[in-house]
Chains A and B, each alone.
Chain A
Amino acid sequence: MSANDILDVLNISRDDNQPAKKKQKTSTPTDNGKPLTGMARELYNLVGPNTPPINLSSSNYISNKGKQNRQFRPSPWSKVNFTPGKHRNIQLKHWVKGSEELLKQENESDEKKEYFFEKFNIKLDIPEFIDEEKYETYMNEFKDDFREEQFTKRKAERMRQLEEQKKQKKIEEKKEEEKRLEEKKEAEKQEEVKQDIKKEGETKQEENFLEEKKEEQKMGEKSVEPSVEPSKEPSEPVITEEEQRSEDEKIKEEVKKELVQFDWSYQETKELFNLCQIYELKWPTIHDRFPSNHRVEDLKEQFYRICVKILETEENKNQNLIDSLKAFSKPRELERKQYLENLLKRTPAEIAEEESLVIEARRFELAAKKMLLERSNLLTLLDSPQSTQNVSQYQSSQGISNLYNNLMIYDKHQKKKQAHQQKQEPIPPPIPLAASSSIRRDKVFQTNLQQYLASFLKQAHHTNPAIKQEANSIQQLLSKRLTQKEEEAYGLHYHGTEKLTPGVTLRSQQKLPGSNQRQSVLKSVSAVFQEMDLPTAGGTMWKPVMPTRKTMSKYDELLRSVVTMLDIKRAKDKLEAEIKLIKSQKGMQ
């Protein structure tokens, strides 16, 4: 029974169409996609066309939640005691997933289960510090080494300095001497001038005399100079023993002063090692906590050199480690820091200047790149099209018109591009098509005679049979016995046993008999040809520029010989390799 039946009974009529539709829609209400059954369906049908616009099935949510609640079982967490780290005797409590019984079982199964975070507690392996006696001997060794090294180094330096000083002195003396002499000269010259003024009216003889005198003086000067020098030279490079001794003393004292850097007491060094262990070789912190005012570099130096000594005495020493420790150089470290310091101390003006320089450099680079690009563009413009491609496709009239069109399009394109790019620059006039090399080449291929014959034959073709006679005359000419020279001139050739293909072919289209080779061989042949600047038709095609019979045959010959050459070369390489192999096998190398 549906609502409509009831309406029928009660004689209530309604617009039938709409409710019917509605009913159809709602007649299969989907609650969780299932059609209603039993009482529910009957009740639903009673609702009839008065179905609410929204399906009010709010119970859905509640029931779902209930279901979820039924399914959800909270996982047990339990508060457990734990000790962070084996050697810590502290008891802390934290929450762990899992029921208490389960955790108990786990604990029993592996009792020494490590605390999860214990693995992050890393200890550095720092060599154990030595006793005082050993320490003293080490330090003394350092001191001795340092003393010796510095002494020899400094002595050499000092000696060099002394020598230089002496040289300098000598040079200065020399200079002074020269100066004195020059002054003398000047004075004399002045005197001469005076004399000249006085004795203006005197005769030339006297002048000559004077000049002679001058020369004499000059000679005298010259003779004086060498007499000075030799007396000095022997004393120059020698450093007296006394000097040496005093220098030695000085150097020793200096070195002694510098030995203060080894002024590390046993206690201090012990403290240093201790701090290194505690702070895991984090030098800034070690330096911060170290009681005295050594620099970080001092601390590092002391630590490293003692470590080297300790490690060297170990039985299975790690040479790499020792070397890396030895590599530490305090002066260099200080220098590096100084440089860094200077870098940071730049004024804003300096920084700005540097930046502007970098920008400028980049601009230059860009400009250079642009110029290169432009140049390469220009070069491609200037370059004539390469004739490496096969021209056969342009030999028909259609091909030529294609080519012409293509060239026109290309030309236009170029023009547009140029106009776009550089409006100010004058556009080079386009190359006239007639000058295009490919067309010219086509013409070049025809000899004069051929041209003549061709035109002649064409004429003969067009005109009436009256001229046949003349054609016959050609035949006559051909049938006539010709001398070798004439044959050559007319381009005649008798094919003996050669197999000929029927029809007319161009010689440039002929396949060379020598090119019957494998593709790989042909490739290497063409490489050889290209190396020798011989014309190839690109790829594995060959063609001389002017395919006359003679050139063709020579070309073929060349091809064959190149092929054999390559064969020989390959064989030779192979043999050489074999010889090498055998030699090496026999150990003869």
Chain B
Amino acid sequence: MSNTVYGGDEVNAIILDPGTYNTRIGYAGDDFPKIITPSYYGEYSNKDTTKKLFGQDLLIPRSNFEIKPLLKEGLISDWDSTILQFNHLFNQLKIQQSEQPLLLTEPIWSSTEYKTKLIESVYENWQFSGFYVAKVPTCISFQQGRPNCLVVDLGHDTISVTPVVDGICLIKNSMKTNYSGKFLNSIIEDYLQDKNIVWEPSYKIKSKTITKYPEPAQFQLKSGIETTNSYSQFLKLQMYHEFKELLMIPEKGQTEFPKRIFELSTGQQITLEKERFQFADCIFEPKSYEFKNKQLELPPSNGEIKNLNPLNEYRPLKRFKKSEQEENETASTTPNPDVEVRGLSQLITHSLNLIDIDLRSSIANNIIVTGGVSLIPGLTEKLYHELTNNNPGLKIRLHAVGNQQERINQSWIGGSVLASLGTFHQMWVTKQEYEEVGIDRLLNQRFR
């Protein structure tokens, strides 16, 4: 067997990695997903019939066409549409369900009900020969080949910090906040609103003349197509994406901020100077930006994941025996109630402090930074400096994939690695087993 060299055994499994922004699907063993598609669906209503559209179809401007998200914080929120989307993807890849197992990723903060629903709907809707639910940080740790690590995932909706030990996520020590890509979007929106800058989707614009910011935008709109608000919001995501590409993390004590010009679809140019640094720094200091429009503000979050599921309910620590020593210990490990908002490095430091002391140094040595937001220039450098300053006793090492696309799709690639391992094939759960054993035991014993 030649494949024993790297322990692989290809069974042509399907990896499906739904994220808040994009959903990825492809074959196990590949180094890149076959399809990357936005996690949104379009609802086209025409008199009596409604039709759901996915993928490229979303971009075509139509009237009576609502675009809605499928997921929220990495969890499927619109089940019916998501199942339709998955079907759509499976058809696109021409998958033979009876011959191919399916690996699905899920975030660590999914509740038991969510998992139950997920597993049930998979077995009900499709006939895959095997099925497995893998946690996103586990996949990322497999992508990097580091069984003990701290996965820092800067996604679209959430920043999550998860320690992984022997490939298994430690949920109690994980942290999650929403000060991530979407948060930056709302900062940008607030900034544009504050400056009274209008934005129109580019397909609407008939003609435009270039103007510079204090001047108002000069453009003419096309007439004829009446699109919905949700559709233009969806297109706005692209504008945010471009805007965010200008962001940079400031260096310590930086006083000079190089200019960049950002041109909107209306032909209006905004000169960005300090703002690009100020906005990016909100990843570390979420409170440093003051929202003019309070509606856009996020509720404060110190990163603790509450009420995971009835099994793992996170009660405040109440020890039966409290000697002096232990009190010291609790003071250091239990979260300080004053801390309302945690930035990225505080989040990681806190998570590190929660981890068992025996594991801490090896985990601090293997911090994996991933996700689209981590691509902001200077982020890993600043993170490294802050972490080493905050944890002088630990030797911090950050690992981030150099390739941009790989960093965005790291969890999918990890799933691809995982599902092509020969040892993994004993983990697939068949429908038969699901029916025999029942969902509770599956959750406890198989999908760990």
Contact = CB atoms under 8 A, between A and B. Distances in A.
Interface of A: 84-85, 88-97, 115-118, 120-121, 258, 260-261, 263, 274, 278-279, 282-285, 287-289, 291-293, 296, 334-335, 337-338, 340-341, 343-348, 351
A293 B315 contact: yes
B129 A91 contact: yes
Interface of B: 1-2, 4, 7, 9-12, 99, 101, 129-130, 165-166, 168-173, 311-313, 315, 317-321, 325-326, 328-329, 332, 355-361, 389, 391-394, 422-423, 425-426, 428, 430, 432-433, 444-445, 448
Contacts of B392: 346-348, 351
B11 A94 contact: yes
A95 B10 contact: yes
26 contacts: A84-B426, A84-B428, A89-B430, A91-B129, A92-B99, A93-B99, A115-B425, A117-B426, A261-B320, A279-B448, A285-B170, A287-B356, A288-B168, A288-B169, A288-B172, A291-B312, A292-B315, A293-B317, A334-B325, A334-B326, A338-B325, A344-B357, A344-B361, A344-B391, A345-B332, A345-B393
A292 B168 CA distance: 19
A88 B428 contact: yes
Contacts of A120: 423
Contacts of B361: 344
Nearest to B332: A341
Given A89-B433, A293-B317, A341-B332, A282 B168 contact: yes
Contacts of B313: 291
Q: In the A-B complex, list the 4 residue pairs whose CB atoms are closest, starting with the nearest.
A: A344-B393, A84-B425, A117-B422, A260-B320
Given A284-B165, A344-B393, A346-B392, A92 B312 contact: no
Contacts of B389: 348
Nearest to A86: B426
Nearest to A352: B392
A462 B100 CA distance: 123
B432 A89 contact: yes
Contacts, number: 127
Contact of A90 (B4, B166, B169, B428): B428
Contacts of A288: 168-173
B428 A92 contact: yes
A309 B388 CA distance: 46
Given A92-B428, A282-B168, A291-B311, A341 B130 contact: no
A204 B228 CA distance: 126
A292 B310 CA distance: 11
A347 B393 CA distance: 7
B101 A340 contact: no
A118 B427 CA distance: 11
A335 to B, nearest CB: 8
A289 B312 contact: yes
Contacts of B432: 89
A340 B325 CA distance: 13
B428 A282 contact: no
A285 B360 contact: no
A283 B165 CA distance: 10
Contact of B425 (A92, A335, A344, A348): A92
Nearest to A91: B129
B258 to A, nearest CB: 32
A286 to B, nearest CB: 10
Contacts of A334: 325-326
A71 to B, nearest CB: 21
A130 B149 CA distance: 36
Given A117-B7, A278-B444, A284-B165, 19 more contacts: A84-B426, A85-B426, A88-B428, A93-B99, A96-B1, A116-B9, A118-B426, A260-B320, A283-B356, A284-B170, A285-B168, A289-B312, A293-B315, A337-B358, A341-B357, A344-B360, A344-B393, A345-B393, A346-B393
Most B CB atoms within 10 A — which of A93, A95, A279, A337? Answer: A93
Given A293-B315, A340-B357, A344-B357, A117 B166 contact: no
A274 B440 CA distance: 14
Nearest to B168: A285
Contacts of A284: 165, 170, 355-356, 359
Contacts of A274: 444
Nearest to A346: B393
Most B CB atoms within 10 A — which of A90, A258, A283, A351? Answer: A90
A97 B9 CA distance: 13
Nearest to A88: B426
Nearest to B446: A278
Nearest to A87: B426
Contacts of B165: 282, 284-285
Given A92-B130, A341-B357, A116 B422 contact: yes
A251 B394 CA distance: 43
A260 B321 contact: yes
B445 A279 contact: no
Nearest to A85: B426
B357 A92 contact: no
A117 B428 contact: no
B329 A338 contact: yes
A445 B390 CA distance: 83
Contacts of A97: 1-2
B1 A116 contact: yes
B91 to A, nearest CB: 21
A338 B166 CA distance: 24
Contacts of A278: 444-445, 448
Contacts of A285: 165-166, 168, 170
Contacts of B7: 117
A85 B312 CA distance: 31
Given A92-B130, A341-B332, A346-B392, A121 B423 contact: yes
A289 B448 CA distance: 9
Nearest to A288: B170
B168 A296 contact: no
Given A92-B129, A285-B168, A291-B312, A344 B9 contact: no
Given A258-B321, A291-B313, A293-B318, A344 B394 contact: yes
A117 B8 CA distance: 10
Contacts of B428: 84, 88, 90, 92
